[in-house]
A and B are shown apart, each in its own frame.
Chain A
Amino acid sequence: MLKRNKLTPYLYLLPAFAFLLLVYIPIFQNIWDSLYEWSTFSPDKVFVGIDNYVHLFKDPVFYQALKNNILYAVISIIFQVGGGLIVAAVLEDKLIRKFSPFFRTVYFLPVVVSMTVIALLFTFFYNPEVGLLNQVLKMIGLDSLAKPWLGDSDTAIYAVIAVSQWQSIGYIAMLYIVAIQKISPELYEAAEIDGANKFKMFFHITVPQTKEMTFVAVILTLTGAFTVFNEPYILTGGGPGTSSEVLSTYLYKTAFSKDMMGYASSIATVILIITLLLSLVQMKAFKTGKEDA
């Protein structure tokens, strides 16, 4: 009886072990692969140690891609987290609450539409001659602002980032709406009695009370910024030149177009390290946070 009981817990844990294997074996295999120079065509893999990483950290395209990912992260924090919070606060205000379901739907719709579809739509939106954006700009007399958004090396990455903001702000706003709904109305009532205006209530009640959700939103946005692939791949393919390349598109191109699998594995490992560090920050941040009852 006792012997059988000792075995039972491990049997129940077997699926978890299998899951762990499925997660960690590919990761370590990828790290191992990054120590080799190999392609789908060459018969053998040549061990090169850390050569792939040495080349990677001398590669100007890598730094261009990393810079673009950082740009993505900074802009996304500002517009998605900041903008999402503002949108959520507005929608949850007493005056607007009755219309909120409609606007929540409107803001959230882009989130559920396939990014592939959205990217193709924005290709037309950004067309320098017949695109909606430039046509509107010309219509209101701002011809000098009518740029070839996706075709200019200076503007391409910003045009791509803008699409991501448009799509994802609704998601962050929805998270914040949930967080705001958990705030006790008594706090707002007390502040109102004391004569606080909307802005003071926003900065002194809404912002501190949604701190936990801010952590979640920031981490989500940051990891998304460093693993983004669809938007730059479909809208610009990393071009013009390599001006809107991000780490994921560079990884893909290196692996499947240039057939440098080992080098691509090293890029994948760097992405892994970046996102793991962000996850560690998240775990650290949650420990310092306090969940109010």
Chain B
Amino acid sequence: MKKTNLILASLLSCSLMLGGCAGKQTSSNSDTGKTTLTFFHRWPKEPEKSYFEEVVKEFEKQHPDIDIKTEAVLNDSYKDKIKVMTGTNTPPDVYFSWSDEFARQFVRGNKALDLTSYYKKDSAWSSQLVQSQIKPYTVNNKIYGVPVTMDGKMFFFNKDIFDKLGLKAPTNWSELLNVLSVLKKKHYTALEFGSQDTWTISHYVGTLNQRMVKPDVLSKDYNSKTGAFTDKGYVKALEKLEELVPYFNKNTNSIDHEYARQQFSNGKAAMFYAETAEIKLFGPTKFKIGMFNFPKVDDGKGNATNLTGSPEGFMISSKTKHPKEAMEFLEFLTSKQMGEKLVKEVGKYSAVNDTANSSNSTPEQLEAVDNILQAKEMAPWFDMAIDARIADAYLTGTQLMLNGDKTPKEVMKDVQKAAASVRAESKK
């Protein structure tokens, strides 16, 4: 507790924090003859930190008249901080953004620069991007972001355990339950899950919603102006997740995703639902790793084969004084050379074509990239696809459901309530 703080001091900081968001800040123009860009991303940790530092250094070398100031904040703090910073008079020129609804927020609020003309004019650059990864940054046929990495969510499994028990990668829900059941009978932790952070829950819920609900109903509900979430498929999706609970490790809500990943890569769990970008983080394992997409769900009315995953990338502030230079930097960042460097040094998959090859990727990474490229359709990360207030009700409710404190119907009732208030507000 903040015992040594003055009573008013803590309230003062709350008030200043809130009041400051709407206030106007004086912009400081430092005219030294050089162009200064501010670059804001969410990777203060390695290996991304060094990568971006080197990209910036190389870009500055090639453009002596441009200075780039980099700032980085960790994941969840970034989600909060970027919203505040783009609300000020001096937002960062180039900033990281998740795609889909997260990006659309900035577009609706007129915080993001329209990049469509650059995509058309610089076609030599834009045509080398994986085209499916541009769509999540497109709003009303205009492009507002540049995808840097692509990703997919897949089940990873311990091939040694599967071979020993004569198991194969399941292709539908009943096969999945059968595999999990066999694993459990043989006293393995069938499926490792660290649900302490709610984004991990959103990956299960998002994929299950894709499987269970008709695409047109889904797109209507994911839109904050029309979302109602009354379709029965949503309750069924949560019931499917409930079916997995007996096969998860105990106490999922006490464990974070990183710990769960370690359990899998240490051979203590047979399966793990993770991002393809995490393959490098598994490190060298004593067993072979297999992977498969989330299975079809037999009684689902939705898309049976979607691969859940969205690109991560950057947007340019609509208030930037140097749009041309900012775009030049992003094009440099998404050049083939920097893309290959990204795959090699960071282990994530560049949104630039033909950057992953046998010299910079493991066979598992190449298999993952192939899955992403072959996917007929990609589905967004759920917590980024819907309004933050609805996501909060959905995911905190589901987290309690995993503890047995709530039923799927109760969760959806809260979601419907949250969606109703968001709908009402967006009509004003």
Contacts and interface: CB of A to CB of B under 8 A. Distances in A.
Interface of A: 22-23, 26-27, 29-30, 33, 37-38, 40-43, 45-46, 72, 76, 126-129, 148-153, 164, 167-168, 171, 220-221, 223-225, 227-231, 237-243, 248, 251-253, 255-261, 264-265, 268, 271-272, 275-276, 278-279
Given A171-B4, A240-B400, A256-B83, 7 more contacts: A26-B19, A38-B22, A128-B250, A152-B253, A227-B10, A237-B196, A240-B399
28 contacts: A23-B12, A26-B15, A33-B19, A40-B22, A40-B109, A41-B87, A43-B109, A126-B254, A148-B250, A148-B254, A152-B251, A152-B254, A164-B1, A224-B1, A228-B1, A231-B1, A237-B196, A239-B198, A239-B396, A240-B402, A251-B14, A256-B79, A256-B80, A256-B81, A259-B105, A261-B18, A261-B22, A271-B14
A227 B2 contact: yes
A37 B22 CA distance: 12
For the complex of A and B, 3 pairs with smallest distance between CB atoms: A151-B254, A40-B87, A41-B109
A45 B253 contact: no
Contacts of A248: 14
A26 B254 contact: no
A221 B3 contact: yes
Interface string B99-141: 0000001101111000000000000000000000000000000
Interface residues of B, number: 54
Contacts of B198: 239
Contact of B425 (A37, A76, A272): A37
A171 B4 CA distance: 9
Given A257-B80, A257-B392, A150 B19 contact: no
A224 B3 contact: yes
Given A26-B19, A37-B425, A41-B111, A151 B251 contact: yes
Contacts of B15: 26-27, 29-30, 268
A223 B1 CA distance: 9
Nearest to A230: B2
B84 interface: yes
Query: Which of A29, A40, A224 is most buried by chain B, counting CB atoms within 10 A of its CB?
Result: A40
Interface in B72-92: 79-81, 83-84, 86-87
A151 B12 contact: no
A227 B9 CA distance: 11
Given A241-B396, A259-B388, A148 B19 contact: no
Interface string B51-83: 000000000000000000000000000011101
Contacts of A76: 1
Query: Which of A41, A149, A228, A231 is most buried by chain B, counting CB atoms within 10 A of its CB?
Result: A41
A251 B15 CA distance: 11
Contacts of B7: 223, 227, 275-276, 278-279
A259 B254 contact: no
Contacts of B255: 127-128, 151
A166 to B, nearest CB: 11
A223 B2 CA distance: 9
Contact of A33 (B22, B110, B111): B22
Contact of A29 (B19, B196, B399): B19
A150 B255 CA distance: 9
Given A29-B19, A33-B22, A225-B1, A40 B84 contact: yes
A224 B18 contact: no
Given A26-B12, A30-B15, A76-B1, A239 B388 contact: no
A175 B19 CA distance: 36
Nearest to A124: B259
